[in-house]
Chains A and B, each alone.
Chain A
């Protein structure tokens, strides 16, 4: 997945800002979608592509900050770059606390917006990758039998086969089979890898 597949969602009440930002995004081969209000954006189908939101903080109706909170509660995991008309410290603090990528003052200097957008997209791609891996791991775990699941927990706690057998009340040989099947299903080459996967999800 590369940033050129990404879409930038531009939410601003000012039509010439929308047009110019969309054009700027196209000039660096990013797709752009524009929305005249927070409401318009929320009414759109939740985006599937990677990307980020460029959001005007001051808009009639719902403000940028309100949209940020709503996206959070709806689980729309798109990083946000805020644009503001003039430096407003309390607003920027609140925006950054809620994990905004950046808070830029209009007019945004050469390159600042694009690097913020790139950073946001990278972060989104990273997060999506992370999410993909986590769900993969979760799926692998779901294929385990109850015994194998127990073996997983015990291995992760650092037990060797003998201890596992004692813990499960089975023979050492049986324990070895559970452990080996579990390692295979989890596609873990080593205990270290398994622990890493376990920690991630």
Chain B
């Protein structure tokens, strides 16, 4: 059909060739002197076609920065391959620059390259958009890379050079293992395997940079998949989150310190109650000691009674020690330590600490502790502080003149993946309109209150991935709930 017609008419070949945007050419493989160029050549560089036939026109018009490399590449490849392509810049008549993709085929004679032919293609537009892309990528405050399925870097942005001190041109072509080193590669390996199996990955980690400074980063890997699903490589986006993580750490530290200070303040307010708790065992010790001495010094000594007295002294001394230990544990340490906690034991301990306060306020404290509670991973001191604060708040809500019914109930219960502590008082209750606001700092319903207690409580609970809320009773009182997650 059409093929023989085209073959039979070389003129049609010429028309087709010379109306294409590609510039056809032919040259002597020894001298690089053109023996033919298409008429489009004039449009490409702005020189008349005749000028192209000057001895070393091509060599002269290659951009000086690319000349050496282009010639070397060309000389090498025309011996090694029958066809190849390479890219370089040429200088136009007006001095402007054009990016060329040169597609070459080689004709050999007697084992030497004889004639080379090919097309010059203006790829300036593509190069420009690549440059724009590179510019954008370099300007981002993130490390961006494209890694192929053989785990070789195909593209990296400037951040790699800034972070690792290695020029981007040297990174490209290296494998992950070569570039990152064995140790870092080992920790990264599993993530790379996952992304290369087609999974999108997000993770947070840290590493020590070449300067020895610990840096935190958030990484996301996106697989590059063909339509058929085969993974060709992946894009990697790594954000330096060091300053964010440091700010979070600082905020946490500040919160722990505030919690500590408020704990000390609470303990100060409870000093009287604590004194009562210490006085009880001390009084018993004094009485028992006096009694024991008398039983032994009597005309008919009673060693049995004396022994009982001594045994009781030992018990009471232990009890006093417990009080002191509980106080000290609440006062010490502004660095939280997460341990497995039995919340029933914790509630009992806090209730014991407040025993004296409850009595002097004429409040009955009832514990309704759930059975078989799972343990939670929490900082014991901070959780005690929350329970202490909520109980004292309840006490204060019931300490107004003329309140007859004064009962505080502390309950614990297992919930789905959590343990709940609820603290219910029979006090003045909460205005439903401010039930949510009371957890905000500086919001208080207490005369002379600072309004920090509940906001500190909530921030402690939230730092434990728990939640806290309040509701008000139908007729009297309020209930505060806190929920702490059980380890999954």
Cβ of B63 under 8 Å from chain A: no
Q: Is the CB of A23 within 8 A of B305?
A: yes
- Bound together, the chains give a CA A127 to CA B362 distance in angstroms of 34
**A136 nearest CB across to chain B (Å):** 38
Cβ of B204 under 8 Å from chain A: no
**A114 nearest CB across to chain B (Å):** 8
Residues 50-73 of chain A: 1 if any B CB is under 8 Å from the residue's CB, otherwise 0?
000000001110010000000000
Q: Is the CB of A20 within 8 A of B288?
A: yes
- Bound together, the chains give a CA A34 to CA B360 distance in angstroms of 21
Q: Which residues of B contact A21 (CB under 8 A)?
A: 287
- Name, among B283, B295, B360, the residue most crowded by chain A CB atoms within 10 Å (CB to CB): B283
Q: Is the CB of A60 within 8 A of B364?
A: yes
Cβ of A33 under 8 Å from chain B: no
- Name, among B275, B280, B285, the residue most crowded by chain A CB atoms within 10 Å (CB to CB): B280
Cβ-defined partner of A26 (8 Å) among B272, B281, B305, B316:
B305
Cβ of B458 under 8 Å from chain A: no
Pick out which of these stretches binds chain B: A104-112, A156-164, A166-174.
Answer: A104-112
Cβ of A28 under 8 Å from chain B: yes
Which residues of A98-121 have CB atoms within 8 Å of chain B's CB atoms? 106-110, 113-114
Q: Is the CB of A58 within 8 A of B309?
A: no
Q: Which residues of A contact B362 (CB under 8 A)?
A: 60, 63
Cβ-defined partner of B275 (8 Å) among A16, A63, A83, A86:
A86
Which residues of B271-313 have CB atoms within 8 Å of chain A's CB atoms? 272, 275-276, 279-288, 290-292, 294-295, 298, 305, 308-309, 312
- Bound together, the chains give a CA A96 to CA B305 distance in angstroms of 34
Q: Is the CB of A107 within 8 A of B285?
A: yes
Q: Is the CB of B319 within 8 A of A26?
A: no
**B176 nearest CB across to chain A (Å):** 70
Q: Is the CB of A27 within 8 A of B283?
A: no
Q: Is the CB of A24 within 8 A of B275?
A: no
Main secondary structure of the interface of B (DSSP, over half): helix
Cβ of B166 under 8 Å from chain A: no
**B362 nearest CB across to chain A (Å):** 7
**A63 nearest CB across to chain B (Å):** 7
Cβ of A47 under 8 Å from chain B: no
- Bound together, the chains give a CA A63 to CA B358 distance in angstroms of 13
Residues 350-389 of chain B: 1 if any A CB is under 8 Å from the residue's CB, otherwise 0?
0000001011101010000000000000000000000000
- Give the number of residues in B that approach A within 8 Å (Cβ atoms): 32
Contacts A21-B287, A59-B359, A85-B276 given; does A28 touch B294 at CB 8 Å: yes
| Chain A interface extent, by class | 20 to 34
**A200 nearest CB across to chain B (Å):** 39
- Bound together, the chains give a CA A20 to CA B284 distance in angstroms of 5
Cβ of A14 under 8 Å from chain B: yes
Q: Which residues of B contact A60 (CB under 8 A)?
A: 358-359, 362, 364
- Bound together, the chains give a CA A60 to CA B315 distance in angstroms of 23
Q: Is the CB of B312 within 8 A of A86?
A: no
Cβ of A145 under 8 Å from chain B: no
Contacts A16-B312, A58-B359 given; does A24 touch B287 at CB 8 Å: yes
Cβ of A17 under 8 Å from chain B: yes
Which residues on A are within 8 Å of B, measured CB to CB?
Answer: 13-14, 16-17, 19-21, 23-24, 26-28, 58-60, 63, 83, 85-86, 106-110, 113-114
In the A-B complex, the 3 residue pairs with the closest CB atoms: A27-B294, A20-B287, A85-B276
Which residues on B are within 8 Å of A, measured CB to CB?
Answer: 272, 275-276, 279-288, 290-292, 294-295, 298, 305, 308-309, 312, 315-316, 319, 356, 358-360, 362, 364
Cross-chain pairs A/B with CB under 8 angstroms, 26 sampled: A14-B284, A16-B319, A17-B287, A20-B283, A20-B312, A23-B312, A24-B290, A27-B292, A27-B294, A27-B295, A27-B298, A27-B305, A58-B359, A60-B358, A63-B362, A85-B275, A85-B276, A106-B279, A107-B279, A107-B285, A108-B283, A108-B286, A108-B287, A110-B286, A110-B290, A114-B290
Given contacts A20-B291, A24-B290, A58-B360, 10 further A-B contacts (CB under 8 A): A13-B359, A14-B284, A17-B284, A20-B283, A23-B287, A60-B362, A85-B279, A106-B279, A110-B290, A114-B290
